[in-house]
């Protein structure tokens, strides 16, 4: 398995292009199942998770071609041959559950493997299932699979989510666009990925109102058409690269970055002593003079501080002046990076969902590894400022969500290379 070698100490200067959002693209791709006309997604990220979703859709009989070096995905579902999402694919990637809503909405039946546990928490899919049941789907759980039927088609309903779930909002939204009548999603997720999905579905002819707010209203239509849609900028990749010059020093312009996608995060960076400036091409980020200041962070659904940037923020705060408290409110087990950062000399105490980080002057390079994507990239960020060499092992996780991380950081002067193994 490949690893990444980082030699710490170099300031970063330059620009980093931000890709299309992995998590938006993973929800947009299954939208092809809702129509027999072609769906074209531009600004797609080139990531292993996107290839996994491609495989899953192809296993159902959809055509998916990666064009222009993977930047454009051409999808078509005019001739599906299967309605079964197999465990072998679903277990690799939880977002596979997003085919359930579209399949049952358009074909009236689907068999989708339940995703298992996950490194960052139990992550059940009960809200997805309850939402689809509210629309009239009959669900039966057998041998690890959800067997879904809606012989007479789905019917609009009020779905009031007990708490905010990005995936459940996406799944039920996709099902509702082809349901008869009106669906109201209450306590819906407001993430930019939801807004992007709704925008694409609307181009396909769906009637959706309120995406980006807590209440989304959908008037079902009989059929959807094809569309071409650019995937929204990846706010988590953006936030990750905004931390890079904050950790290492220097100034980086994140091309395509938008402040509205990361406002709560940028506010915390500002409080820590990092300047974030809007430019015609994106966001320019620089560490102000002096040491990073300690700040407290609490993750929350959008527009709050994203859980997917908590690990990277912790890497930054390891060398801050003072003590920071990070509260993880979305996932129950999302501090796996803490023991690895401790191996680099960080002072972190974890109690349940709270991590207390007491800044040290400097981290020291070490061999480290992580069991999820954001934890892995946080170790690379920590390595940028650490004394000596850091080797991040098991970068398979990294490749799920960051394209060419070593090239993007290397182009700004970081000493970083991939070691094939
Ligand atoms: C999405 O996961 C993202 N994944 C995650 O990104 C992100 O961390 C998460 O949203 C929160 O922002 C994709 O978009 C593919 P949730 P999702 O449903 O939809 C609980 C990354 O690093 N829950 O909003 O699965 C759940 O366990 C990844 O890119 C239920 O209890 O997240 C969690 O505690 C990791 N029952 C909370 O809700 C359900 O049916 C929020 O999860 C659904 C969720």
Give residue 388 CA to ligand 1 midpoint distance, Å. 36
Task: Note the pTM of the prediction, 2 decimals.
Answer: 0.98
Give residue 358 CA to ligand 1 midpoint distance, Å. 29
In this structure, the number of other CB atoms found within 10 A of the CB of residue 253 comes to: 21
DSSP β-bridge partners for residue 351: 354
pLDDT at 117: 67
C-alpha 312 chain-centroid distance: 14
Q: What is the pLDDT of residues 11-55, one digit of tens each?
A: 999 999 999 999 999 999 999 999 999 999 999 999 999 999 999
108, pLDDT greater than 70: yes
Average pLDDT score over residue span 214-240: 98
Which range is least confidently modeled, 8-17, 120-129, 236-245?
Answer: 120-129
User: Which own/partner contact pairs does 285-288 have at CB distance under 8 Å and 24+ positions apart?
Assistant: 285/241, 285/242, 285/245, 285/246, 285/251, 285/252, 285/253, 285/254, 286/245, 286/250, 286/251, 286/252, 287/245, 287/246, 287/249, 287/250
C-alpha 174 chain-centroid distance: 18
Active site residue 118: yes
Q: What is the pLDDT of residues 315-329, one digit of tens each?
A: 999 999 999 999 999
Q: Which residue CA neighbors atom 7 of ligand 1 most closely?
A: 308
Between 313 and 421, whose confidence is greater?
A: 313
List CB contacts of 259: < 8 A, sequence separation 6 or more. Answer: 266, 276, 278, 283
User: Closest ligand 1 atom to the C-alpha of 189?
Assistant: 24
Q: What is the pLDDT of residues 273-284, one digit of tens each?
A: 999 999 999 999
Q: Which of 25, 118, 200, 318 is catalytic?
A: 118
Distance CA 196, CA 278 (A): 22
Distance CA 135, CA 130 (A): 9
Distance CA 281, CA 362 (A): 33
pLDDT at 310: 98
Cβ(76)–Cβ(62) below 8 Å:
yes
């Amino acid at each position: 398995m490949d690893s990444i070698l980082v030699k710490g100490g170099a300031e970063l200067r330059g620009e980093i292009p931000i890709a299309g959002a992995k998590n938006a693209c993973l929800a947009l791709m299954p939208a092809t199942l809702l129509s027999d006309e072609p769906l074209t997604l531009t600004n797609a990220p080139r990531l292993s998770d996107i290839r996994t979703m491609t495989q899953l859709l192809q296993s159902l009989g959809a055509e998916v071609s990666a064009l222009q070096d993977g930047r454009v995905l051409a999808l078509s579902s005019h001739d599906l041959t299967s309605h079964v999402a197999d465990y072998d694919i679903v277990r690799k990637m939880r977002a596979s559950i997003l085919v359930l809503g579209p399949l049952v909405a358009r074909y009236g039946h689907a068999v989708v493997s339940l995703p298992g546990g996950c490194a960052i928490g139990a992550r059940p899919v009960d809200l997805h299932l309850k939402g689809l049941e509210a629309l009239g789907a009959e669900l039966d759980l057998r041998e690890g699979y959800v067997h879904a039927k809606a012989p007479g088609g789905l019917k609009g309903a009020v779905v009031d989510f007990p708490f905010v779930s990005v995936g459940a909002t996406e799944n039920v939204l996709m099902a509702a666009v082809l349901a008869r009548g009106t669906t109201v999603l209450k306590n819906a997720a407001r993430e930019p990925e939801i807004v992007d999905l709704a925008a694409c579905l609307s181009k396909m002819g769906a009637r959706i109102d309120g995406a980006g707010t807590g209440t989304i209203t959908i008037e079902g239509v009989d059929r959807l058409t094809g569309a071409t849609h650019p995937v929204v900028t990846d706010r988590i990749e953006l936030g990750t690269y905004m931390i890079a010059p904050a950790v290492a020093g220097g100034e980086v312009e994140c091309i395509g970055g938008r402040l509205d996608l990361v406002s709560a995060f940028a506010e915390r960076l500002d409080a820590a002593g990092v300047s974030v400036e809007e430019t015609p091409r994106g966001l320019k980020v620089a560490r102000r003079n002096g040491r990073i200041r300690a700040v407290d962070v609490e993750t929350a659904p959008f527009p709050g501080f994203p859980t997917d940037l908590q690990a990277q923020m912790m890497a930054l705060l390891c060398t801050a002046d003072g003590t920071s408290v990070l509260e993880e409110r979305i996932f129950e087990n999302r501090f796996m990076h803490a023991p690895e950062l401790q191996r680099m000399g960080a002072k972190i105490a974890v109690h349940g969902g709270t991590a207390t980080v007491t800044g040290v002057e400097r981290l020291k390079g070490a061999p480290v590894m992580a069991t999820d994507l954001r934890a892995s990239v946080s170790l690379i960020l920590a390595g940028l400022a650490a004394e000596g060499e850091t080797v991040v092992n098991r970068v398979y996780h990294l490749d799920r969500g960051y394209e060419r991380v070593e090239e993007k950081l290397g182009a700004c002067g970081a000493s970083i290379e991939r070691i094939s193994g």
